[in-house]
Chain A
Amino acid sequence: MHIPDGYLSPQTYLPLYGVFISFVSIAVKKIKKNLSVKLVPFLGMASAFSFLIMMFNIPIPGGTTGHAVGAALIALMLGPWVAVVSVSVAVILQALIFGDGGITAIGANCFNMAIVMSFVAYGVFKLVGRKTGSIARMTVAAFLAGYISLCVAAVITGVEFGIQPFIAVSPQGLPLYSPYPLKVAVPVMAAEHLLVFGVVEGVVTALLFRYFYKNNPEMINVIR
């Protein structure tokens, strides 16, 4: 889901940089106001968790690979605003140091994986798992938070790829950036995440949520 340089036109990546910077500046303000300095190390560990979990490329035999992002669990544990910052730190580092995702696409990649995922995951959990106290129901809610958030992010990424042939074309009529139209990009991104990678994000989120719920429930933001 890390869009490389050259796949998005400036008319796509520049607005997404704008959205990304707006979200991060709000998030930083909120964190400075609400988050005790003592909790900042958790933000760092969350960022490290996201960075590492994204290294686990999961193969579809004979096909492509993909990975979980960890944004859903972080949003449930620390709240969506902290999750936006911690996942963004990981995504920026991946682009700058490891060439995973483009420099021009940092705004887009952070929008998809940090912003969209964090808020969708948090919202899904609140809708499904709220105020029941039943661990079974909350486990299901955590799974759905992970599963749905990654799938939504994947579809949005597919849309970003897919609109390029329509909005950025050379005088000869050839695409200037991603040459894969919506009818190719969206179904592929949706299918591989609905069938495989979304399930992995869901299972990781549910298992770790259960672990923290049993051992350190006071740490979990979303049930406070």
Chain B
Amino acid sequence: MPSKPITKKLFIGLLALALLSPLGIILPEIFKADGAWGEWSTEKVAKDKGYVPAGMKRDASRWKAPVPDYTTGKENDSLLKRSGNYIFSGLMGVGIIGLITLGAVKMMNKK
């Protein structure tokens, strides 16, 4: 590892980001903002357009993500619970990236 202090600082920074991540669901709720443009469910497209395009209908539900939308809970869960799930998702993502990185280091060291 390169100079210790900087890696430690970066780790602390990443941890802080993960812990602050619920802002990413709290602020949109406070300011009554919907999701991102063009990322709507087929139900919302149907409401907007009066129909669901055939290809979209077929492809939209192809993949069932294990942790959809970074929450394991339901939509009517309290904001606190969703915030906890959100932090957990953030840490889980970082953990998986960490494992991939370790794997890459091991593979590169072998040669």
Contacts and interface: CB of A to CB of B under 8 A. Distances in A.
Interface residues of A, number: 68
Given A6-B42, A43-B101, A48 B28 contact: no
Which among B28, B45, B62, B68 has the highest number of chain A CB atoms within 10 Å?
B28
Contacts of B105: 37, 40-41
A32 B49 CA distance: 49
A135 interface: no
Contacts of B21: 52, 55-56
B62 A103 contact: yes
Interface string A40-64: 1111110111011101111111111
Contacts of B31: 59-62
B55 A99 contact: no
A90 B2 CA distance: 23
Interface in B62-108: 62-70, 86, 89-90, 92-94, 96-98, 100-101, 104-105, 108
A41 B66 CA distance: 27
Interface in A81-122: 89-90, 93-100, 102-104
Contact of A98 (B53, B54, B58, B89): B89
B10 to A, nearest CB: 5
A179 B7 contact: no
B37 A64 contact: yes
Interface of A: 1-7, 9, 32, 37-45, 47-49, 51-53, 55-67, 89-90, 93-100, 102-104, 157, 161, 168, 170, 174-180, 185, 188-189, 192, 215-216, 219
27 contacts: A7-B56, A37-B109, A42-B10, A45-B7, A48-B93, A48-B98, A55-B24, A55-B90, A59-B31, A59-B32, A60-B31, A62-B32, A63-B34, A64-B33, A65-B28, A97-B66, A97-B92, A98-B69, A98-B93, A99-B65, A174-B53, A176-B53, A177-B56, A179-B49, A180-B38, A192-B37, A216-B6
Given A99-B63, A179-B49, 11 more contacts: A55-B24, A56-B21, A56-B23, A65-B35, A65-B36, A97-B93, A98-B67, A98-B69, A98-B93, A104-B59, A188-B37
